Amino acid sequence: MRDVFHADLDALNSQLVAMSTSVTQAMRAASAALLSRDAVQARGVIDGDADINAMQYAVDDEVIDIMTRHQPIAGDLRFILGAVRIGTDLERMGDMAVHVAKIAERDAPGCAVPRTRPIFTAMSEIAIRIADKTTGILVSRDVLDATQFDLDDDEMDAQFDRLMRVLGEGWSHGAEAAVDVAMLGRSFERYADHAVRVAHQIVYLVTGEVHLGRES
């Protein structure tokens, strides 16, 4: 009975890994669409979000199924609730990719990121790197790795500050473009924040310690 239970938990974790892989791919495609001004690729990300949302509902259904069929003890319940929470954050990461894709689609073939392209190239790389690591620790449950996420997050924050400075110093592309650039920056930053929340959830699952995040 315990073996069936643990096989079910492994299957649940595999669903989270698949979802994490999908939201990484979504942000990779959204970034490429933004930087290459590709409306078709942007549309693909927007349309693909329904699949990611469906994955979240599947995680919830699996959780309810596991709790109904087994009578988990407290430690296992912690893991199971963590899965619900991780599913929520992954779903929001998908939404952030959609935000990027929507601006990319609307502005294509024009450029949504005047004067700031190198910053967005960097933000995209950091976001995807963090998401890849998130998938990695979902697989490995390696808490040491998870604590490293704050450094990546600091890098993202530094790029966001750089973006704000560009908007503050002689910006000549108008308020609307400034708002788009700020919103895009915020979407990458929030994407990373949600990935870091997933990492902190895993720390909590493995150690039981609340890592009071800096995400607010």
Q: Which residues bind a second copy (CB under 8 A)?
A: 49, 53, 57, 60, 63-64, 67-68, 71-74, 77-78, 81, 84-85, 88, 94-95, 98-99, 164, 167-168, 171, 174-176, 178-179, 182-183, 186, 210, 212, 215-216
Query: CB 125 → a second copy: shortest distance, Å?
Result: 23
* 81 versus 145: smaller Cβ distance to a second copy: 81
How many CB atoms within 10 Å of residue 209? 10
CB 100 within 8 A of CB 34: yes
The H or E element spanning position 157 is helix 149-168
Place of tokens 């990935």: 195
In a 3-state reduction of DSSP, which class is residue 77? Answer: helix
CA distances 74 to 9, 78, 211, Å, are 14, 6, 19
Length of the chain: 216
Query: CB 58 → a second copy: shortest distance, Å?
Result: 12
- Please compute, for residue 151, the number of CA atoms within 13 A of its CA located in the half-sphere on the CB side: 7
Query: CB 138 → a second copy: shortest distance, Å?
Result: 19
Query: CB 193 → a second copy: shortest distance, Å?
Result: 10
Place of tokens 């991780």: 86
* 70 versus 125: smaller Cβ distance to a second copy: 70
Query: CB 11 → a second copy: shortest distance, Å?
Result: 18
* 4 versus 139: smaller Cβ distance to a second copy: 4
Cis-peptide into 109, omega within 30 deg:
yes
Query: CB 72 → a second copy: shortest distance, Å?
Result: 7
Helices marked H in 37-73? 39-69
CB 42 within 8 A of CB 108: yes
The H or E element spanning position 122 is helix 117-140
* 136 versus 213: smaller Cβ distance to a second copy: 213
